[in-house]
Amino acid sequence: MTETAAIAFVPPDLSVLADHPGRIVLFAGEGGRLDTGGRRVGRLMRGSLGRFLASPAFARMKPGDAADLTAPAGLAAEAVQVVRLDRKASLEEARRAGAAIAKGRGQGDVLVLAGAHPRAADIAFGVALRAYRFDAHRTKSDEPPPSGTVAFQVARPEAAQAAWAPLSAVAEGIRFCRDLVNEPANVLTTQAFADRLAAMAGLGLAVEVLDEAQLAELGMRALLAVGQGSAAPSKVVVMEWRGGAEGTAPLALVGKGVVFDTGGISMKPAAGMEEMTMDMGGAAVVAGVMRALALRHARANVVGLVGLVENMPSGTAQRPGDIVRSMKGDTIEVINTDAEGRLVLADVMWYAQERFRPRALIDLATLTGAIIIALGHENAGVFANDEALVGAFLAAARAEGEGAWRMPLAPAYDKALKSTFADMKNVGGRPAGAVTAAQFLQRFVQEGCAWIHLDIAGVASLQTDTDLGPRGATGWGVRTLDRLIRERFEG
């Protein structure tokens, strides 16, 4: 199962502090300043809290850092957690504070003395993101999952709850995205993936699953070629959220959903191949965004399309040297069957434009190892043909603290894709591999369509913990895209 945190907002009640059996969290600002709840805890602790706040240990703490005072005198609580946070804290600092609370959780209830802190909902968001654990396939654990409610005592519970509601929807979208990426490929098959997306019809999304016969009828032979070596049937899932004005063209989000990537006949090295369960990360982000939009009843028209395939070697797999025809009609010489994601995206992007005539198109894919060489695991690669759209996206990414770096597009790179026998090759060699992949995709963007390509290979899943999540799937992009939609496509 997936572990998260139950969060509640309740009115202040300082009478419960002495007897609260779990953990108590309080916020201390510059110089150890405390609010009413914190001062009450200080009096109950008979001076020990004040001594800590006057110590070098507190002085060294940065905004969002936390320290535990265990077995506090004068309280029944197992610990008092002191979080360094001012009332003028930034969004990032507030979320880091929430993450610190989540990391300190145990088996009991947590009482957070937030008082009149204006960032209470953002702190709760940090709690929700960092409390995530993916234990679906554990039968036992040396470290039992935390349990209990995280209750925020706030001066205005109704206002805090109203601020929390849309953030809760985004947190659920991120959880859903992380679950999809963390699932093994024998569980999250193309059919199982499609079933999970189809179930979101219960949230108000219009969901359509296209099977192989329908894809062949549409001419999606580039996508179908990727999956032809697998026993798992290829699919395209279309999710529509119609929360905006009737007749307004939607934003289209397109995700690569390769549920497992062996590389096909161009087989990947065995070492690390188990990580290729995350090669559907782009599709997972699209699904997470669509879930968040439905849950928060976004006032925008957005369509999410994902191509679900499995890239396997077999007697029916596509071969290096094969030539396939895309839905657009262009022919592609397959030089390397491990450059399969762009074949999937090419057909789904074209279909999205032909069917929905979107206001803008954004595709996401764990597309190239080259982007990791260029940017590491700190930033996704951002390629775009529209300055206003990419400017808004990068501003949203900065606001949400999700790393994103603009990369170049230029006709000079096209010569690397020139084929002797077809309209193009699917790879352009090692130099500028992420750029030539983006140049390939740009050929499937129609004239006048504002477009962003996000190469998320380095950020979709990490081998280390982050401030807001444990090792594994990050959910990168759900926060940024939700903010972009709120600021540019709603209203």
Residues identified as active-site:
268, 342
The span from the CA of 399 to the CA of 414, in Å, is 34
Four-CA torsion 79, 85, 87, 89, nearest 10 degrees: -140
Token output for 14: 């300082």
* DSSP assignment string, 466-481: BTTB-SEE--TTHHHH
- Cβ atoms of 76 and 106 within 8 Å: the answer is no
Distance CA 418, CA 415 (A): 5
How far is the C-alpha of 251 from the C-alpha of 242, rounded, in Å?
11
Does residue 420 contact residue 330 with C-beta atoms inside 8 Å? no
Beta bridge partners of 303: 240, 252
The residue among 17, 112, 151 whose CA lies nearest residue 72 is 17
Structure tokens at 2: 């997936």
Residues 300, 392: Cα–Cα separation, whole Å: 16
Q: Which residues pair with 70 in a beta bridge?
A: 79
Measured distance CA(218)–CA(212) in Å, rounded: 10
- Hey, is 208 helix, strand or coil? strand
